[in-house]
Structure 1
């Protein structure tokens, strides 16, 4: 029986409760992501609408925030396209892994965005005081 090998499938099937929790985590992370996108857009618009003569620090900050917003758009579109994979007919175990990865990525980006928004808020106050 040298030539015969049994392959044991070591796939993990998530329970319905685990899948539901993953979906809820993904939805929450996505909502927070959208809220931060809106806040970031507000900060960008306020920096743009500030004064016509912006110092180089403000222009650099504006470019940085616009780049972050574009990155956010790219990430969200990639994740949505990933979840809309036509090859997957129904919810499979690999999709629960995708949801977990996506929720984790969005949460990490939310933290990065929060840091940028805090810096942006202090920058706006400084510009407004000037």
Structure 2
């Protein structure tokens, strides 16, 4: 006698309001991330200009900011690939539950780190 084991999968269906909130959080975090990226580019450009006029300017600080910008680019590319579903040769996959929320949280965390770097730069530049 063949018995089939059936597994009941419980799934959580998010409400339209919850989905809208997650999308808005993601959009806000993404917009803030892009704004900070632009600001970081301005800071790096001004430091590079200062280095050409004053070679003894803080090269280590510039290197640190350039590394942060590269990290931001890597994170952004990773998130874009994650959203596209293309992962190392595998076929398209549907979005994972909570993916936008995870991305928004990651971007918020990175935004805080960027803010700390930019604030410390502004403080040093004003001194």
Q: Shared fold by TM > 0.5?
A: yes
In the alignment, structure 1 segments of 5+ residues that lack a partner are none
Distance of 2:100 and 2:14 partners within structure 1: 12
Runs of 4 or more above 3 Å deviation: 3-6
Aligned equivalents of 1:18 and 1:88: distance in 2? Answer: 22
Q: Deviations over 1:14-70 (max 9, x none)?
A: 122211111111010000000000111111111111133124xx1000000000000
Query: Where do residues 33-44 of structure 1 align in structure 2 (5 Å cutoff)?
Result: 33-44=33-44
* Count of matched residue positions in the alignment of Structure 1 and Structure 2: 119
CA contact under 8 A between 1:26 and 1:103: conserved in structure 2?
Answer: yes
Query: How far off is 1:13 after superposition?
Result: 1.8
TM-score (norm 1): 0.82
CA contact (8 A) 1:37 1:72 kept: yes
Determine whether 1:108 maps to 2:109: yes
TM-score by length of 2: 0.84
1:52 corresponds to: 54
Return the alpha-carbon distance in structure 2 between the equivalents of residues 103 and 12 of structure 1.
20
| Aligned position for 2:32 | 32
Distance in 2, matches of 1:76 and 1:54, equals 33
SS in 2 for 1:9: coil
Q: Is the contact between residue 47 and residue 124 of structure 1 (CA under 8 Å) also seen in structure 2?
A: no
SS at match of 1:27: helix
Distance in 2 between the 1:42 and 1:124 partners?
A: 13
Q: Which residue of 1 aligns with 2:75?
A: 75
- Give the Cα separation in 2 of the matches to 1:11 and 1:33: 32
**RMSD of equivalent CA atoms:** 1.9
Distance 1:64 1:10 in 2: 47
